[in-house]
Amino acid sequence: MSLKYSEIMNQSGLNGKLIRLPVEYHEKLFNLECVVVEKIHGENFRLGVDEKGKFIGQKNNEFRNLEDHPNWNKLSEKAKNEIDVILNWALPQYKYNIVFFGELYGKGMQGGFDWDFDGLRILWFDIKMDDNYFGHDGKQKLFTTLGLDSPPIIGVMTIKEALELDIENIKSRVSLSPYIEGVVITPNQMHEWWKFQDRLIIKYKTKKFAEEKQGKHKSEKPINDYVSKYVDFVTDARIEHAIQFLTEQGTEIVYEMKDLQHIPKAVVADIEKEENEGQSLSKEDKKFLFSYIPKFYKQYLDKLLSEKMK
């Protein structure tokens, strides 16, 4: 059985969908059975066939000649054998567009983990035929049939239970490191009351890797150690006041990270009006706040999600 969705949604997008979903369905959503797997610290990898023949992909790039893939020479023999197996299975299915999605991982691919093998390997986690993604049982059966490795399953539970997992203390079953990057939460089945085309996949990272991903924003202090005295005025109430103002001006707030194209400017403007006698903040203060507010808004959305789970 396959599931048809046009997009993939992660945790940061869940708040926006809950706002649009009738309240009576919130509990049903959090009680959906899901599969939780270890999130692998690697790089996107795609392989498939379409009306033009075979292709191999990396992020937004596709190559018709497999050897053109930037990491082709680093792939282990195991990975190359799996690619042959997939293409030998997929090519006869010429009337379909088929894509296998995987995570390329191993020494030199991403920092922070140790591996007990050389070369790069692939963990396969999704299959799409035309616009239809395979359900969990269907894809796992095909992975087993083809002899493909997939991410370790941490457990089967409700979405609420998955979001409450102590992921900081889960040991990796793929790498030699005593921690994981995070988890990926995928419902086994969605229902007709889920009106969105987005495919619900929640990616939840440990603090170690969530902070690392933020790069230069992982600390409240920029490189020059300047901290704005106005940082204490960035509060939940200030965010909500900015949202109210933007909404009244006709801006649609969806309670997702894409709101950041509007939120920081509105928050800074509100601070200038209420806390600085209407005067413009200095360049240093603005630079700091525009770096800090996105991280704060992410935390704000996470708190909203936690409140809805109660």
Instruction: Read off the amino acid at residue 102.
Output: G
Instruction: Compute the average pLDDT of residues 43-55.
Output: 92
Average of per-residue pLDDT values in the chain:
87
pLDDT one-digit tens code per residue, 209-260: 765 544 433 344 444 578 999 999 999 999 999 999 999 899 999 898 889 9
Domains of the chain: 1-40+154-212 (3.30.1490), 41-150 (3.30.470.30), 217-309 (no CATH)
pLDDT at 96: 78
- What confidence tens digit (pLDDT) does each residue in 95-118 have? 779 999 999 999 988 778 999 999
This prediction has a pTM of 0.76
Residues 46, 215, 12, 308: is their CA dihedral positive or negative? positive
